[in-house]
Structure 1
């Protein structure tokens, strides 16, 4: 029997879906900062994927350290922050009763998530009585119970997945699940009035455990996580809703704006798009970290070409402002304190490519007589080649792995590439793809 992760009678205010490095180095430091300002908020952290992070957290009383290292205002900084605001934890689906129990606790007000692009997807569910398999399905069941047991309570939902309009998308999924489960008109009215789904953009580079740094905390804290000084959170909403968001009072940059689409698109397409491209190419060519990748002149030139010619012209924003943003991003990539492992970025790389870069391929294709952008196309070929050549190192969903397992074994490498681009990414083989494959094969 699995161990139940809980502490005696903690008062929980926030349910956090995601035990990974990112939220632990982005969101928890903000909550810790608020606690130090006498704004008490406690987190229950939820693990819904494989791994042993929750078990490790429980063994440490849910406490760990964050190392902030990099350049802030032109000065090198290296700071350690102890995180004590996580007070409880659970694993789903094992702890589903505990999870559903929080729906009737009025102190629980916020739900924060980072289930990645692979987790923020639509999935048909069974009957309402059966605990849902998908994130959106579980949120829907939780909200239905809250409506029935605590209808006067407000719930603020802050999805941090790197998807444009992530709050709107999650609400769309919740409404669809609720319709499938034949909820009353009163439930949908309550959903509109008492549940606030905010669109979010989060931005912080979190490389994970600082193997390369000499820190005494490494000896006793296997969950020590390193991050950069830069931290930015844009929340889309009305200024009148600021009372719902205590995170705006944190010492890092958290903003509430009526439209964050520009912030979201530039970050997802440029910063995260570059990460996905670098990881795919770098893993095939033998680079280990983002820093190593951008220290190579040829790689940096290719990255710059991709952003300048294949991304910036298709974002519909001021090109000069985007170039300034690009230079800031490139400087963050070269942070000498950061060893951001490409293999970590490759987690669920298929969904990341589809949400971050594939839209640029289709936009370019529509405006350039059926051609695809050369560098982005190379990134796609590198990604598929890594999956084909390193199946034991692939960290992706069972659905994606299943598609690769369906490839006829008698196919040549090129035929396998053609098969995957069509069946997984919905792209027909083209002269641009063929050229990319030929150039990569000759490297």
Structure 2
């Protein structure tokens, strides 16, 4: 280093903070509490610019005592940091090394969390969520399940490593089921860990409900299935269920005909994978997929897993807080998740590119992602449709789309209405140009026109 050139300590991180002088004592206490709450250990220097340039600090017994007193008076519960004078590039600095295992910590009565190199004030409720998420994450995934290391889905494990190698996210080599389980910490004392059983167990550890509904309310269902399997298999099952029950269109490019779904596969895949990655697997509810005429909902059990809102992830560069790190890693390696830790931002980008609207609902028991289906565009020009269908008409029409030869009695039973009400709905749908009867009145088959 040339004479006069500033020494640089590098960039601030989630566990390293720089302050120019002890004149920033208040801000320093905030950083200490934020780092303690996020990581439990960290280092702070007085005499360093935010960019890492060492500028020095007047250091005396008095200034060292001032730092010690500030920590004692501001940080609660009490911690006992190591506060020393250090010399870097002939500049004198104050180095504060601190740690604590009694989180949450406050600074002057307020609570903070570290995000990248910034300190964010949080409410006690947000802090409760944060610690709840981390407590679950640390204990659940690594805990032993009741499944033995032999109760595995060998086909799923083989499919995983083949996909991961093919995607270039796992190096080529010799893989076996025991090697994969051990490499990713999915076995413990001859038992699968909880993460191992959920990912690759043969014990049918995870439940998925999938249904098709006649309207956008969960009243009349046209199909309902319950799948029980491991996460690796359920991802494929869930994707196939949605793709089989949405609309596709044909586009001809040159001499090739391409079938294109109304919702891009990448959107569906990303939403599903993130739902399985961030779920709570020892909760009271199941994963759920609902296909409605106007939307598709994907529900995953467990309250929202971060103190940051989805909007903050989409618009900014917040550090991802992954509830199930091991599960998320396996899904990333097998390319079920395209980019690790950037789910909301990627989903938002994919939906914008495709012109697809979405929303979400967060509750105490789970998180629901809603993908709105595009409206049907008629291929026939100059045709005006009467789209003012009531709930009964929509339910009847949906049933006929699934099974055109349904009788009035069968329809009435499915939607819990009288036969007379069903007949009125059929007459109305016919008059509005949605259906046309083929065959006799006694055994009709309905042709769907629109």
Q: TM-score, normalised by structure 1?
A: 0.22
Q: Which has the higher contact order (CA 8 A, sep 6+)?
A: 1
